[in-house]
């Protein structure tokens, strides 16, 4: 009866489950008093700036989509022509 692998895996699993793990809540408590808050940004964006950023992002997304669609359609067309005439 060679079930040593299964027993070995079980004992390893039990040992790993027994060990103490760091608490996420304790980590959060330690971070709250940390130095990262010193460099936090407290500036607010104006509505005009937000509108400009939104419009710029929309334009960039449209350009990117147009490039992808163009490339994909050309690729499909060329693939179709190659398969049709070969």
In a domain, 20, yes or no: no
- Total domains in the chain come to 1
pLDDT of 52 above 90: yes
Global pTM reads: 0.47
CA distances from 5 to 2, 11, 16, 26 (A): 8, 10, 16, 37
Q: How confident is the model over 6-35, as pLDDT tens digits? A: 888 888 888 888 777 777 777 777 666 555
pLDDT of 61 higher than 70: yes
Q: Name the residue range of residue 68's domain.
A: 46-86
Is residue 12 included in any domain, yes or no? no
Whether residue 75 is contained in a domain is answered as yes
pLDDT tens for residues 73-86? 999 999 999 998 87
């Amino acid at each position: 009866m060679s079930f040593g692998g299964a027993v070995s895996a079980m004992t390893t699993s039990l040992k790993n489950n027994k060990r103490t793990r760091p608490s996420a809540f304790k980590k959060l408590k330690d971070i709250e008093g940390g130095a990262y808050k010193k460099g936090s940004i407290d500036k607010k964006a104006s509505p005009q700036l937000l509108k400009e950023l939104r419009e710029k992002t929309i334009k960039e997304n449209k350009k990117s989509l147009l490039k992808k669609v163009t490339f994909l359609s050309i690729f499909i067309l060329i693939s179709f022509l190659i398969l049709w005439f070969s």
